[in-house]
Amino acid sequence: MSESAMQNEFINEPKSVYLKDYQVPAYLIDKVDLEFDLNEDHTLVKSYLRVRHNRLSASKVKDLVLNGVELVLESIKINGNLLSNAQFQVTDQWLMVHNVPDNFDLEITTRIYPQKNTALSGLYRSTNTYCTQCEAEGFRRITYFVDRPDILSCYTVKIAAEESRFPYLLSNGNLIDSGKLENGKHWVKWEDPFKKPCYLFALVAGDFDVIEDKFITQSNREIKLLIYVEKGYGSQAYHAMYALKEAMRWDEKAYGREYDLDTYMIVAIGDFNMGAMENKGLNIFNTKYVLAKPEIATDTDYMHILSVIGHEYFHNWSGNRVTCRDWFQLSLKEGLTIFRDQTFSEDILSRAVMRIQEVNGLREVQFSEDAGPLAHAVRPDSYIEINNFYTSTIYNKGAEILRMLQTILGKAMFRKGMDLYFARHDGQAVTIEDYIKAMEDVSGADLRQFRLWYSQAGTPVLHVEEDYDAEQKIYRLIINQHTPSTSGQSIKKPLYIPIRMGFFDEQGNEIPLQINNEPVENEKVLHLTAASQIFQFDNVLVRPVPSLLRHFSAPVKLNFAYSDDDLKFLFKHDKDSFNRWEAGQKYTLRMFMNLIQDYRHHRPLHLPYELVEMYEYILRHDTSDDFLLAEMLSLPSEHYIGEQMETIDIDAIHAVREFVVTEIAKQLQKLFLETYYQNHDSSETYQFNIQAIGKRQLKNRCLTYLMLLPEYADVGMQQFESSLEKNMTDTQSALVGLANIDSPLREKALNRFYTVWKHDALVVDKWFAIQAASKLSDMLREVKKLMQHEAFDIKNPNKVYSLIGTFGQRNLINFHADNGEGYAFLREVVNQLDKLNPQVASRMVKPLTTWKRYDNKRQQLMREQLELLLQDKKISKDLYELVIKSLGEG
């Protein structure tokens, strides 16, 4: 059956929503009073809505349409009068109330079943806790409502539940009243004085350990800080509290933003689709971004918690106080807040290393997204299911756009623009145009061309050529930009691209720059605005080595004919730490491509000594920044190498990369071992600071290389045993190495790890992920076996992400086995997930959607699995959209 025939077979084919069709809401809801009666087998929800006709609406329709999914309507009243069946109409998606007045009070009672809610959207039960997730469209699963972000309302919320089981009843805003009820129940009432969209509504009911602290704002207000975690886990919440206070302090200093309520609450939940949710005053987090102590969390976990805690706090202004008019503007809050949390992490930790990690993620995920069938603009023109657009393009590319804007305007002017944006639009639901207009108004800049970044999909490619006139002492850079065509966008316009750059002489000294014979700073920003542009530099006495796109000043691909010597020179001498790392990556990538050609032609593989010499040089000379040095020693991933190829050659990439890392380990083993022991002290107490993190990262990078050689397996086992129950960073690093060795030590370590940590869900997630990523053969059989393990629960997103997600996205050689068994396995799991949790299913299917990038045999095998998914007439619209678009039918 063809894709089009299958599409026609799809019952109630999902419809696209278009940006061009936006209309202001016909009715506004100024006040929302909610009452929840939480019972064991159901929950009763009463909503009291103050509704009025929107004078800005041109609609003459007198019917009010409210969204509602999986709700049981008990009653509906207008101005206290019960409506007859003739006065309204109900479907499985909406409630229509006929012939409503211009101003009225609407009272609706619904019955819902949180304990049956496996989608984890709306109100649901996570073990013994009630919680909500309303972004993007979960509120319609709680009560009938006009579920769109431009409906801003003031909320009061009353919650009643059994006190012994649910002593904590939480919602947005400030607690204003409480009391006791019959039958062992109690109630509380919360009031949020700030208008908000319904996607920011939150409710939590349960029993917790509570960590309490306070923060004194810049205006000397005392804010109560509360973190709620599962009973017995209170000791793991102190790092999250530290992160919160650092974020509050940083936002006051960097943006002048002060917290506005009296209390700030965080709740950690084990069953959560996302990382965290910024509900006003009551953030709900996935436990993995709250819980940490040295024996169960790695350095990476600690850093992620710092970032995500900051991200959700920063949303209080960039997302809550000023929100988005419609979901097409999603990057207005997410891209901006990602940029804010990235710069926060750079300031607290390491500007260089955080930037390297940000760019690695962008290139491996977002660049791949831009190059595939699911490519979309930062502000897309349409969608079928909005949950599918919580993507790296919306978040990370959106953040890069803001970083470019700051580079173009300068930090001081950018800050003034942010101040005006918050002041002008406080309490409003706005658009990307509103944001850019604030920047134009403070700076006087014309940003019309810059706005194309929001509407044009794809990753721009810069082709740069140089021309040096030794006689005239003139150096020119000729830069051409081109953005490849993407689905629905074959013609691309030139973008406004800022390029940070500098020059070096042969001794590694920066060359002073002159343009039009006028001196400029040693680091210059070139403003590329045309398809082709020439930049001339005067009085350049020798041919310089250019350092281009410093600190990755734009999300582009840069092609410049650097010689091998130029790249080695920049790797050793560039003053921009990111570009030092980048030079090493470019050199190594070039070497990989040459070796892949040798592998394809069955020629023997030889590792260039120059690469070994580069690594030896930095190990001996770069002793001031261990954290950066650890990153400098990293090689491009298999995924990123594949992204450089027209047709991804899984087998060649894996064979060549394994050869390279093993040869580096052999040739530098003495130096790796020396560096390892210089930084290893098993008795050292864990500390979270940049110096201690750097030592651990460098030590464990050396261990990763050493454990590729059989004679060092015992070193890894010793670190595993000495760090177990004390330092998860060291434990996990050793266990990853052991999991990739076909040795009795592997099984011994994995069994020991599980025995010690089987009662800690987050640590068990690591155990699943380490095995799922193992490059040993026959790992698909192991993954299938692990799905039957007592600790695996397909209804828990973290378990799915750690086992299935890791196998499909990080274990390329096993997932892409040319017998197609990995593809069939993923399709079966996705089918199962789609019946339980469509959001998770649509995330897990992503590895199949890039099928066109592989060889003909794999293409056919992957395509077959996508077609089988589409044959399911009950496929969710989340999954349907990704499958149909990846097959080229959407």
Q: Which residues are catalytic?
A: 312
Question: What's phi and psi for 222, nearest 5 deg?
Answer: -95, 125
User: Whole-angstrom Cα distance, residue 393 to residue 389?
Assistant: 8
Cα angle for residues 40, 41, 44 (degrees, 5° grid): 90
One DSSP character per residue, 612-665 reads HHHHHHHHHH--S-HHHHHHHTPPPPHHHHHHTSSSB-HHHHHHHHHHHHHHHH
Q: What element of type H or E holds 286?
A: strand 282-286
Helices (H), 758-855: 761-772, 779-787, 797-800, 806-810, 812-815, 821-836, 838-844, 846-849
d(CA 334, CA 313): 12
For residue 622, how many C-alpha atoms fall within 13 Å in the half-sphere facing its CB?
Answer: 26
Spatial neighbors of 856 by CB under 8 A, at least 6 apart, are none
Which amino acid belongs to residue 741? I
Residue listed under structure tokens 């209390």: 263
Give counts: helices (H), strands (E), the chain.
32, 33
Q: Which residues pair with 812 in a beta bridge?
A: none
- The token pair at 866 is 């996508």
The sign of the dihedral angle between the CA atoms of 669, 672, 678, 683 is negative
d(C-alpha 289, C-alpha 276), whole Å: 8
Q: Is the bond into 136 cis (omega within 30 degrees of 0)?
A: yes
Q: Where are the alpha helices (H) located in 172-298, listed in sequence order?
A: 238-255
Residue 569's identity, in one-letter code, is F
CA 591/CA 199 separation, integer angstroms: 49
CA dihedral 405, 410, 412, 418 (to 10 degrees): -10
Find tokens 């390297």 and name the residue.
356
Residue 284 half-sphere exposure, CB side, CA atoms within 13 Å?
Answer: 31
Distance CA 187, CA 385 (A): 36
**Helix segments in 325-397, DSSP class H:** 330-348, 351-361, 367-370, 392
Q: Which of 764, 733, 772 is nearest to 300 (CA)?
A: 733
Where does 9-90 show beta strands of DSSP type E?
A: 17-18, 27-38, 43-53, 64-67, 72-78, 81-82, 88-90
Q: If we measure between CA atoms, which residue out of 457, 452, 496 comes closest to residue 377?
A: 457
Tell how strand 513-515 and strand 524-528 pair up: unpaired
Distances in Å between the Cα of 678 and the Cα atoms of 309, 626, 667, 733 are 34, 12, 19, 17
CB-CB neighbours of 451 under 10 Å: 16
Round the CA-based radius of gyration of the chain to a whole number and report it.
28
Taking alpha carbons only, the member of 762, 630, 619, 627 closest to residue 689 is 627
Rounded Cα gap, residues 398 and 365, in angstroms: 14
Residues 706 and 665: beta-carbon distance below 8 Å: yes
Measured between alpha carbons, how far is 168 from 128 in angstroms, rounded to an integer? 12
DSSP 318: B
Q: Residue 4: what residue type?
A: S
- CA 72/CA 111 separation, integer angstroms: 5
- Say which DSSP state 103 is in: E
Amino acid of residue 33: D
